[in-house]
Structure 1
């Protein structure tokens, strides 16, 4: 007789090949005859596989491919792990497991869509005029291990979870974790997602402070056990790591693994940008990239370019890369394209260049992070080189 349990759980073990085919298929890339055959075979293996595929396809069609390559790979891995976790908790309700998995996928996709597009499921705030474009604010989405998603903002003063092992409190735009029983092995994982045009701070259970910038997400345990303290980052964050010589702190991104004991550094790893960078202010970090390890000292930055696959280490003015945490942007001989890329994340803007050569104009200066966008852009116009045309959340840049 066929094992019904195996029949039920086949869809949980999605092969790596299927991940790659799904990513290509959902982004509109043409698939080979063999890839089509493998995809169709997988979809027909279990009803849940077809449901998973349809949910992905539906979201991608609605949101015009917001999730890109690295986003999808990370997302698929998280979904697979979440499905397996749910399956373990639902051994007594196996006939409902595939429905629960599909619902979990929708929640996870919704979370990624939220911080990728600033979409809110309940509150829709149209922006008909340029003067309504405001700087970012403190807000985020917290996804608990149960799959529950909790919207957060700076006004909330509340305990989110309180049990015998740990508690989570939201206070003054900061999410605070406090482990009551450090010996417990019942550790679960949370994800904090910050939408475009926002920021948030989290204090992990070991006391490490993480400042999350716009359009970023952090996946972390509610408490640290074992040899290492490990978190995963998408986007940009500034870390103030609590010292613990016996338990290294590790930050994983799509391209780098950063190992520290106690230090302050900035990591910028947006999947939509070709360069990943780690900038060290204090202490020491060891960065592993493409199988090689590099020791980074204060005042230095390591970058990896996904286009040419080159790793570079250089001495930098760290303030240029960390000032956002302190409420301002500092730039020195920086291209307009790079500056506008940063501002687009913070103000949730779409940037267009009427004259491509304007992208390479260099600027030096300092901007207040919380200033009205119109006032901020006027400072660039005072150079008499460029002009900005603002319509809703679109900014077109042209030569004067």
Structure 2
């Protein structure tokens, strides 16, 4: 059976899983919850493996490496249970095919590619002037606003606000800026206190160019990930409408899209206090607070962090998620419109990890394999229908 799983995951991740294999895979996953969990575990581990493994090996070397590691695991089977061995085999099979894309252009018609989003953002300064943060001469333009441009590891412009001593007169009159990322955009920058900020698509942050007074306060719309610089004498406060999140130094994500079930604060590290009207909770790492925007009520729950923060690492991770919710996220990132040909297709569920910088065509092809739906791309409009048997 292990050999069969090897074949399934290989064909699935390389885009070679045909309809018959897809039906067989779905049937196997439906036989037992353990089968589904095994598949989900393997897919999750791919993301972790991705962070430490290179993708420049050729096919034969990669396959040799996979087999050697599996044989090593088998030699230690006195303490490794069968299920663990199966999981390892799935992991390395996935890692092999995950980083290898076969040259299949000549095998199928070439469709127009819908490319992923990328670094796009606009700075809106106090007098209303808008600055494109992707322009080539950004440093010449941005210096007058108290910021510096540096090159990140991908050789793209990153904005960093200067941390300098300022006079009492300026402290009484803070200058506010807003950085906004559009649909199909994202942006990473650093505030004057050293706090790092990641804006997701269709999001924005309003903040002072210098933090003055007793607190550091910013305003969020959309989805933003923070790594807050610790300062026990000056709490960092994020405001979203009537909700405030108070921290000293920590890593967390706030998602306040209109289509969300509520304003979600997901804590990765440290501690945060979420306040809404007269309600208040203190989160621990691995927990999420969801604020009802109408009643102000707050519910707290344990979550799988990567499902809510993986976008910062360059992937989208899904666990038994409805297609309707997945398409909302993909629509923002790829700047496309999804239409379901029948309401019941919205309820189909998908588990997997996709790289967010892949073309949309490749992402949808992966989702098709285990959800029994078909995506028809026409320009920037995508129709979701059922597979015809």
- Whether TM-score is above 0.5 comes out as yes
Corresponding residue for 1:158? 139
1:214 alignment partner, SS class: coil
Aligned counterparts of 2:201 and 2:128: Cα–Cα separation in 1: 23
Equivalent runs, 1:1-400 vs 2, <5 Å: 131-153=112-134, 158-162=139-143, 166-169=146-149, 171=151, 172-183=156-167, 184-185=170-171, 186-306=173-293, 310-383=297-370, 385-400=372-387
1:180 alignment partner, SS class: coil
RMSD between aligned residues: 2.1
Distance of aligned partners of 1:350 and 1:310 in 2 relative to their CA distance in 1, 3 Å threshold: farther
Comparing both chains, which one has the higher relative contact order based on Cα–Cα distances under 8 Å and sequence gaps of 6 or more?
2
Distance of aligned partners of 1:267 and 1:156 in 2 relative to their CA distance in 1, 3 Å threshold: farther
Moved more, 360-369 or 237-246: 360-369
**Which 5+ residue runs of structure 2 have no aligned equivalent?**
1-109
Aligned counterparts of 2:260 and 2:335: Cα–Cα separation in 1: 16
2:364 alignment partner, SS class: helix
1:158 alignment partner, SS class: helix
Aligned counterparts of 1:365 and 1:378: Cα–Cα separation in 2: 12
Q: Please report the TM-score for the alignment, with normalisation by the length of structure 1.
A: 0.64
1:367 alignment partner, SS class: strand
Q: Please report the TM-score for the alignment, with normalisation by the length of structure 2.
A: 0.66
Larger Rg: 2
1:262 alignment partner, SS class: coil
Aligned counterparts of 1:263 and 1:304: Cα–Cα separation in 2: 20
Q: Does the 8 A contact of 2:181 with 2:199 survive in 1? A: yes
Quote the offset at 1:132 in angstroms: 4.1
Distance of aligned partners of 1:244 and 1:367 in 2 relative to their CA distance in 1, 3 Å threshold: same
The superposition leaves residues 32-71 of structure 1 with CA deviations (integer Å, 9 ceiling, x where unpaired) of: xxxxxxxxxxxxxxxxxxxxxxxxxxxxxxxxxxxxxxxx
